[in-house]
A and B are shown apart, each in its own frame.
Chain A
């Protein structure tokens, strides 16, 4: 039996297209997740009791919103957000339409990861900065974020990997990508070879992201 016979159903061109779609969705949504989740996480920490900008109301509201979005299964979020996506990006189907739900699904998750790493910053160091006359903004930019840097990078890595999984569901709204290919061809049409190839590629992607992330974390961890 010829090697190629094992992969009769494989259309490599389709695979590469799907690969590109996955990377595109993951990259753009990670970017926006970081842009939204980072300030959100910082704000949650700062407004929490006993912190620099403590504010019960803001803290409670933010915490509540984050928990709500974290408890909705992504597949449902994807559908619920269709009207919102329509307004935001002008379409509710396709790769770009998958990005708003991906971001909204993962930003609260990432915000929590940011929160955890910021809480690990030594209180004494914040106090030191205050004693030297640092403004709140200086404490955020020169103390909290740099000190939590390796934790935040680890958080981005986790988010990136989770997003690879989420994109698989984006097929529901025509998002495309590897996961979509795996479901439509591999699962629904019993093309096991497609299933295997797409899965292997996703495994490789995750491995690469994780290894790079770990490397960066180690590079920035001075503890």
Chain B
């Protein structure tokens, strides 16, 4: 749906060139929710603003739905932009217009008929749950409500793509949840491709299918969210994953095993097991116990969700002959679990 090829962006600041994006190659599939996470100044906003050419890339091409936006004339670009909705951190609503008029704004730009506009606006007000607020002005709404207006407005032209520039960063946690849920619903209901940028990992975990980690103007890690979550490769990715980790395994627990005399130690293994998807709720441990003379002792554990996928993490003590313990680990891995030996 969206392809960025060899995209580079330099800003000229006081005659000095600053490279905001080094060399971005990225493909975003139709219908997916794609997240980009990075620290402040990493180039997130520049990247997302390149997608609708609010920022013109210094080099490279931006292909949206088969069309290279960098090759369009200004008026062709205006038409192409109507297929790409955008929402903003600070909502960017027209303060002088009612909620109704704000949502009608893109429709008026494309000169739709009055009755068409009215129908569309009412549908959208319904969709975002603001039907009772049509006549109010933005100043009379809460932050979450303003973002709902922003979303409704972005959807008015039935775009194929929705770009979200830190859409929840100005909102409190509760409101953030409700906005993310709305975006997720829209993605499912309308099959809209969503690209969002954020510096908060929980946003990624909540609604994204895939995530790219951006650092210093480069995508340093990319993959399905669950994979990146469970197996972060770059240290910056690990940092982000830490942000939302509710898995605080007390390291002291390992101390008692370290103090054991060697022969006894050999019969105790401590492993961390990660379940993802269906295996989370399957009696995997029980099946292994039945086939091998080992014992499991659960030291620590959590179950959580990555978007709609449940995942769990356990720290297990496996007691038994070293060979049997090794086989137990192998069995678990064969059933599709990620097993990491801690001790």
Q: Given the complex of chains A and B, what is the CA–CA distance between A222 and B84 in angstroms?
A: 29
Interface string of B67-98 (1 = CB under 8 A from A): 00000000101111110111010101111110
Q: Given the complex of chains A and B, what is the CA–CA distance between A222 and B135 in angstroms?
A: 12
Asked whether A146 lies within 8 Å of B94 as measured between CB atoms, the reply is yes
Asked whether B139 lies within 8 Å of A222 as measured between CB atoms, the reply is yes
B106 at the binding interface (Cβ < 8 Å): yes
B54 at the binding interface (Cβ < 8 Å): yes
Asked whether A222 lies within 8 Å of B95 as measured between CB atoms, the reply is yes
Q: Given the complex of chains A and B, what is the CA–CA distance between A135 and B79 in angstroms?
A: 10
Which stretch in A119-127, A160-168, A206-214 binds the other chain?
A119-127
Q: Which residues of B sit under 8 angstroms from A133, Cβ to Cβ?
A: 77-82, 106, 109-110
Q: Considering only CB atoms and an 8 Å cut-off, how many residues of chain A contact the other chain?
A: 22
Q: Given the complex of chains A and B, what is the CA–CA distance between A146 and B137 in angstroms?
A: 14
B138 at the binding interface (Cβ < 8 Å): yes
How distant is B330 from chain A, measured CB to nearest CB, in Å? 53
B269 at the binding interface (Cβ < 8 Å): no
Interface string of B136-147 (1 = CB under 8 A from A): 011100000000
How distant is A198 from chain B, measured CB to nearest CB, in Å? 40
Q: Given the complex of chains A and B, what is the CA–CA distance between A134 and B137 in angstroms?
A: 22
Q: Which residues of A sit under 8 angstroms from B93, Cβ to Cβ?
A: 125
A203 at the binding interface (Cβ < 8 Å): no
Q: Given the complex of chains A and B, what is the CA–CA distance between A134 and B77 in angstroms?
A: 10
Q: Which residues of A sit under 8 angstroms from B97, Cβ to Cβ?
A: 146
Asked whether A134 lies within 8 Å of B109 as measured between CB atoms, the reply is yes
Q: Which residues of B sit under 8 angstroms from A138, Cβ to Cβ?
A: 109
Asked whether B92 lies within 8 Å of A124 as measured between CB atoms, the reply is yes
Residue in B105, B110, B139 whose Cβ sees the most chain A Cβ within 10 Å = B105
Q: Which residues of B sit under 8 angstroms from A143, Cβ to Cβ?
A: 94
Q: Given the complex of chains A and B, what is the CA–CA distance between A125 and B93 in angstroms?
A: 6
Asked whether A125 lies within 8 Å of B92 as measured between CB atoms, the reply is yes
B52 at the binding interface (Cβ < 8 Å): yes
A220 at the binding interface (Cβ < 8 Å): yes
Asked whether B95 lies within 8 Å of A132 as measured between CB atoms, the reply is no
How distant is A51 from chain B, measured CB to nearest CB, in Å? 14
Q: What's the dominant secondary structure at chain B's contact region? A: mixed
A149 at the binding interface (Cβ < 8 Å): yes
Q: Considering only CB atoms and an 8 Å cut-off, how many residues of chain B contact the other chain?
A: 31
Asked whether B54 lies within 8 Å of A142 as measured between CB atoms, the reply is no
Asked whether B92 lies within 8 Å of A147 as measured between CB atoms, the reply is no
How distant is B100 from chain A, measured CB to nearest CB, in Å? 13
Asked whether A124 lies within 8 Å of B88 as measured between CB atoms, the reply is yes
Q: Given the complex of chains A and B, what is the CA–CA distance between A127 and B97 in angstroms?
A: 17
Asked whether B78 lies within 8 Å of A134 as measured between CB atoms, the reply is yes
Given contacts A128-B88, A223-B139, contact A147 B109 (CB under 8 A): no
Q: Which residues of A sit under 8 angstroms from B198, Cβ to Cβ?
A: none
Q: Which residues of B sit under 8 angstroms from A4, Cβ to Cβ?
A: none
Q: Which residues of A sit under 8 angstroms from B105, Cβ to Cβ?
A: 129, 132, 142
How distant is B33 from chain A, measured CB to nearest CB, in Å? 19
A191-221 residues at the B interface, CB under 8 angstroms:
220
Q: Given the complex of chains A and B, what is the CA–CA distance between A150 and B81 in angstroms?
A: 30
A86 at the binding interface (Cβ < 8 Å): no
Q: Which residues of B sit under 8 angstroms from A135, Cβ to Cβ?
A: 75, 78
Interface string of A130-163 (1 = CB under 8 A from B): 1111110010001100110110000000000000
B30 at the binding interface (Cβ < 8 Å): no
How distant is B117 from chain A, measured CB to nearest CB, in Å? 14
Q: Given the complex of chains A and B, what is the CA–CA distance between A1 and B303 in angstroms?
A: 100
Given contacts A125-B94, A142-B108, A142-B109, contact A131 B78 (CB under 8 A): no
Given contacts A127-B54, A131-B84, A223-B139, contact A146 B78 (CB under 8 A): no
Q: Given the complex of chains A and B, what is the CA–CA distance between A143 and B96 in angstroms?
A: 9
Q: Which residues of A sit under 8 angstroms from B92, Cβ to Cβ?
A: 122, 124-125, 127-128
Q: Given the complex of chains A and B, what is the CA–CA distance between A49 and B84 in angstroms?
A: 27
B157 at the binding interface (Cβ < 8 Å): yes
B150-173 residues at the A interface, CB under 8 angstroms:
153, 157, 163
Q: List 27 A-B contacts (CB under 8 A).
A: A122-B92, A122-B95, A125-B93, A125-B94, A125-B95, A127-B54, A128-B86, A129-B105, A130-B81, A131-B52, A132-B82, A132-B106, A132-B109, A132-B157, A133-B77, A133-B81, A133-B109, A134-B78, A135-B75, A142-B105, A146-B96, A146-B97, A147-B95, A149-B96, A150-B96, A222-B139, A223-B139
Name 16 extra pairs, CB < 8 A, besides A128-B88, A132-B106, A222-B96.
Answer: A125-B94, A128-B86, A130-B54, A131-B52, A131-B84, A131-B163, A132-B153, A132-B157, A133-B80, A133-B109, A142-B108, A146-B94, A146-B97, A147-B94, A149-B96, A222-B138
Nearest 9 interchain pairs by C-beta = A133-B81, A128-B92, A133-B78, A124-B92, A131-B86, A222-B137, A133-B82, A132-B106, A146-B96
